[in-house]
Structure 1
Amino acid sequence: MTPDAATIPGALVRAAGRFGDREAVADPHGEVRRSYAELLDRARTVARALVAAGIQAGDRVALCSPNTHHWIEAALGVLYAGAVLVPVNTRFTGPELLDVVRRSDARALFVAGPFLGVDRLEQLWHAGPAPRLEVIVRIPIGPDDEGDWAELTDRAAAVPVARADARAAAVRPDQVADILFTSGTTGRSKGAMSAHRQSLGVAAAWAHRGGLTEADRYLVINPFFHSFGYKAGILAALHSGAALVPQLVFDAGRAMQLVERERITVLPGPPTLYQTLLDRPDRTDRDLSSLRLAVTGAATVPVALVERMRAELSFEVVLTAYGLTEAVVATMCCPDDDPRTVAHTCGRAVAGMAVRIGDAGEILLRGPDVMLGYLDDPQATRQAIDADGWLHTGDVGRLDERGYLTITDRLKDMYICGGFNVYPAEVEQVLARLDGLAESAVVGVPDERLGEVGKAFVIPAPGATLDPDDVIAFCRQRLANYKVPRQVEFRSELPRNPSGKVLKRLLRSQP
């Protein structure tokens, strides 16, 4: 029996058939390399081990680990066994991990061993009991950590390959494939559920718009636990035959070394990633000429940055995109778009998606890849998806005559200064042109006279000298008075979620 092609197990089988001995994964952590045929074999092994442990079709399996080949094999194995994948943010504390495990009713957990000084499993047990959690597999990350990963092959021996293949063949396209918990930028996270056909749909749309092919080598810095790393990374590679090179932890010097060594062609990430590379004094010592495609977003993208990425980082194509956990990829630029279009818009709708602007300028999305709903939260689902099927994103934007979308801001980020609406993204776009400024985030803070005024959190460029008066004076020359920040605070970094978005609620909550 062959799995349905519109399911992730089917996509894996199809990729193994099409790409066979071509490299699927080149993991520099441990120097592990897998062909597509080997990747299918490893996913089958994980699936058989889960079946042997009593995991049933439809059971939820949580996965909390950084970007290595283990994550890819575990995720595909979970799905091959007909179970539901629940990726977990590796930045979560023990109580946050326990919350996801409990709310998802997970029966199994793949979890990294001690990593960056944190033992997540130990934190989980300290946080409290997880009565339904019956199977735990520790993934070895540290040099002295053996984990349980190597034991999967022995466990799998009790289950014939044909039994795992039957599980995979029984999966249907409309079944829930994964539950991704939102980043929680507005409070407690919610579990967005997507079907197999939807997760594959967004992957195919991203791969098509970016022109991803089997000739590409894709450095994945975006975390696999995030929708971008998982769906626009792992699943997009299954669709196209590209080779994945996961990076465990982002380090600019190591990233440049991998680009040179692995002849990386595709390198997506937030704007700060590219700015960091451009600011490296040793950048010219590395051969980055293999780079061809960058896809960015999640923040203001200055035109000058796009131009420098093409001129100094060798990218032939720089694209911006827009999406969220509930829809993943909604719009995306095209390879022939000019730098201004790339910097000022997020492109036009990808295949099958529709975009319109609703009340108060809110961006609404509808189409085949909008989530099924939130896990065990029908009220939140009804609030997010209206009776006509439109997803209310909470983002504010506008569409031009070409159907290209520009993000103005988040509804919740807009503040009112002296009776006038101020959209921080507009102020940040202006600040991006200030020499000596690497990045900024603007929020509204209380003011007795005006209600709210702007406060700019600023990261200076390496070696630059700025003071608050410089920042304010620059804005006064380019913005209406009510848009000019009244306060400036310098920072070495900004709080972010895994997709690179600045957590402005944390900035607003600070005195």
Structure 2
Amino acid sequence: MEKIWLKSYKNNVPHEVVLDDKTIVDLFEATCKAYPDNRAVTCHGETLSFSEVHERVSKIARGLADLGVRHGDRIALVLPNSIQYPLCVFATHLLGAIVVNINPLYTASEMEYVIANSEPKVVIILDMFSEKLNGFHNKYGIEHIIVTRIADPYTFLKKTIINLVLRYISKVNPKLQYQAKSFVDLYHNPNKLEESPLVNNNDIAFIQYTGATTGHPKGAKLLHRNIVANIYQIYAVIGAQVADLDKQVVISALPLYHIFSLTANLFTFFFKGSENVMIPNAKDLKDLVKTMNKTPFTIFNSLDTLYNKLLEYKPFTSVTHKYYRYGICGGMPTRQSVADAWFKHTGMYPTNCYGLTETSPAVSMSYFDDTFNGSVGYPLPSTEINIIDPKTGHSLGIGEKGIIQIRGPQLMSGYWRNEEQTRKAISEDGWFNTGDMGYIDTNGHLFISGRETEMIIVSGFNVYPAEVELVIDELPEIAEVAVVGYKDEETGEVPHAYIVFHEGMSLEKEQIIKHCRKELARYKIPRSINFVSELPKTLVGKIDKKAIVAKYLATADKQSGDRHD
């Protein structure tokens, strides 16, 4: 496909980025040297400067090396946003080892699968999740388990108070069936790493597991050069709009073990000398708003559902946006209603972006001063986009909907220990099949229509749930909506909508159908509607359509009274 989006680039945004052989370690060392006194990481009011981060990372790396960690070994991190998280990431990379991010909210069986697949030599885990390892602590090549408490890096008094509260009030007192090592011993290691092993930009930096829609998650092998290239691509866009990237204060509420937050929050701003303020639990809106009120934050990256929850949380109205400059919104499509409400409250639209685990993650991004138009912006420099017909595989033209394919330096090298899935996902000429449906408009904007697997086929016509959801979401009473398909004897499939209202608001089903009739072809209109109190979410806050199907569609045959033909 012709790169028509280049015509819409701002004048100072390059069409291509200049790549080099640098690694994450190179960027880390250069940043700590360039900004030694800048505030680097803050959590619960405790702050480390870049020089202090460098010192602690060196000590942790030495401690891990003393445990036998070598180049190419895997270290699993089961940590929320905390001071410990970036320290452990950089210490792992200093040794040439590989970070395996594991969602702490995983069940024991989910965690076991990832550990069995990646076979880490060391697991570093927060104490409140450590019991989950009991059933397999001595399997899959695990040699050492290091347990940390959230307050381990804090001053003695604050650490003592927080640990007492967690133990005796929150009842965090895990009963372990294994002998664990303490993170404190690493953190206060008297010795530093004397010499870092040679790390190559073709080395694996992360095994980042995808959120599986079917079966088990797959581990994307993200090389140092993939991550560094994506950072350069993001800098090419935001650097053209923000001159003082070393003076930003970023509230990191989205979990850093997720690839969007890892790159958009931590790496992008850490490597420019800016401060990351860690929020261990974004669901704790009280703590998040309290931190916002205390912090002169300039950046708040989020996703649609968290923006929406904050807007509906009354104490959020007290937060000043005096210093706020922008927020990148990713992970899921941003609804027009949420974008408009955020603009009304803050004076800034969310900066939409699109990415995937397999692309490190960023693929496209809008500009900070763009008016929200529902797109995910323009493809990043050095990124190629192709749209193909899902049935024939033939390339499509501008404005035609199909499967999005991506090629660029941010693309993973493949899936960990899964050559079959790698061959299915990446063509011989380097095109990655995203499984997402979308199109490019005449201005070069990329629009996402939904997942290929979510597409509903009604009498041979394609219905994209995202399109129907956007129409329904235009109604101001709607807080959340999810459209899914279920089988129908006459048409093969029909769309069905699940709707959550804003507090104190409601509509009749016929009012919603009437609105849809104005905007949608007949076959796209939901055949039936259910009003629910909440929609199931994934562990990172996205609407979980797989869970919706499992929870609600079993009763679809009982909903015939709600049909709107």
Fold conserved between structures, TM > 0.5: yes
Structure 1 distance, partners of 2:447, 2:296, is 33
> How far 1:312 moved relative to its partner?
1.3
Matched, 1:434 2:475: yes
Aligned partner letter, 1:183: G
Matched, 1:201 2:232: no
Matched, 1:352 2:382: yes
Q: Contact between 1:437 and 1:460, CA under 8 Å: does it hold in 2?
A: yes
Q: Deviations over 1:227-274 (max 9, x none)?
A: 012122221123221210111111334323322211111111111222
Q: Deviations over 1:265-288 (max 9, x none)?
A: 111111122222222333332323
Q: Which residue of 2 aligns with 1:151?
A: 185
> How far 1:302 moved relative to its partner?
3.3
Match of 1:463 among 504, 508, 518: 504
Structure 2 distance, partners of 1:125, 1:161, is 31
Correspondence 1:332-347 to 2 at 5 A = 332-340=365-373, 344-347=374-377
Q: Which residue of 2 aligns with 1:377?
A: 418
Q: Which residue of 2 aligns with 1:504?
A: 545
Q: Which residue of 2 aligns with 1:367?
A: 408
> How far 1:339 moved relative to its partner?
2.2
Structure 2 distance, partners of 1:380, 1:470, is 45
Q: Which residue of 1 aligns with 2:29?
A: 13
Correspondence 1:77-476 to 2 at 5 A = 77-114=91-128, 120-126=129-135, 129-141=138-150, 143-144=166-167, 148-153=182-187, 156-157=189-190, 160-162=192-194, 165-167=195-197, 170-211=198-239, 213-250=245-282, 251-315=284-348, 318-327=350-359, 328-340=361-373, 344-360=374-390, 361-476=402-517
Structure 2 distance, partners of 1:128, 1:19, is 40
| SS of residue matched to 1:456 | strand
| SS of residue matched to 2:515 | helix
Structure 2 distance, partners of 1:207, 1:215, is 15
Q: Contact between 2:115 and 2:140, CA under 8 Å: does it hold in 1?
A: no
Structure 2 unaligned blocks of 5 or more: 1-19, 151-162, 174-180, 391-401, 555-565
Distance change (3 Å), C-alpha of 1:319 and 1:492 = same
Structure 1 distance, partners of 2:503, 2:287, is 19
Structure 2 distance, partners of 1:378, 1:302, is 37
| SS of residue matched to 1:24 | strand
More displaced stretch, 436-445 vs 397-406: 397-406
> How far 1:153 moved relative to its partner?
4.0
> How far 1:467 moved relative to its partner?
4.0
Structure 2 distance, partners of 1:346, 1:160, is 44
More displaced stretch, 385-394 vs 450-459: 450-459
Q: Contact between 1:228 and 1:499, CA under 8 Å: does it hold in 2?
A: no
Distance change (3 Å), C-alpha of 1:5 and 1:289 = farther
Structure 1 distance, partners of 2:236, 2:338, is 24
Q: Contact between 1:441 and 1:457, CA under 8 Å: does it hold in 2?
A: yes
Structure 2 distance, partners of 1:122, 1:196, is 32
What TM-score does the superposition give when structure 2 sets the normalisation length? Answer: 0.83
Structure 1 distance, partners of 2:199, 2:131, is 34
Q: Contact between 1:326 and 1:371, CA under 8 Å: does it hold in 2?
A: yes
> How far 1:128 moved relative to its partner?
7.1
Aligned partner letter, 1:415: I
Structure 2 distance, partners of 1:175, 1:490, is 50
Structure 1 distance, partners of 2:264, 2:330, is 13
Q: Contact between 2:236 and 2:381, CA under 8 Å: does it hold in 1?
A: no
More displaced stretch, 287-296 vs 435-444: 287-296
| SS of residue matched to 1:192 | strand
Q: Which residue of 2 aligns with 1:484?
A: 525
More displaced stretch, 101-110 vs 237-246: 237-246
Aligned residues: 491
| SS of residue matched to 1:240 | coil
Distance change (3 Å), C-alpha of 1:246 and 1:446 = same
| SS of residue matched to 2:292 | helix
Structure 2 distance, partners of 1:221, 1:204, is 23
Matched, 1:22 2:54: no
Aligned partner letter, 1:453: V
Distance change (3 Å), C-alpha of 1:127 and 1:445 = farther
Aligned partner letter, 1:442: V
Q: Contact between 2:248 and 2:269, CA under 8 Å: does it hold in 1?
A: no
Q: Deviations over 1:51-87 (max 9, x none)?
A: 0111111100000111111111111111112110000
Q: Contact between 1:330 and 1:350, CA under 8 Å: does it hold in 2?
A: yes
Structure 2 distance, partners of 1:74, 1:400, is 43
| SS of residue matched to 2:350 | strand
| SS of residue matched to 2:58 | helix
Q: Deviations over 1:90-139 (max 9, x none)?
A: 2211111111111101110001111xxxxx33222225752410111112
> How far 1:498 moved relative to its partner?
4.5
Structure 1 unaligned blocks of 5 or more: 115-119
Q: Contact between 1:95 and 1:124, CA under 8 Å: does it hold in 2?
A: no
Aligned partner letter, 1:349: P
Q: Contact between 1:101 and 1:130, CA under 8 Å: does it hold in 2?
A: no
Q: Contact between 2:43 and 2:278, CA under 8 Å: does it hold in 1?
A: yes
Structure 2 distance, partners of 1:49, 1:359, is 53
Distance change (3 Å), C-alpha of 1:362 and 1:27 = same
Structure 2 distance, partners of 1:406, 1:76, is 35
Aligned partner letter, 2:185: E
> How far 1:318 moved relative to its partner?
2.8
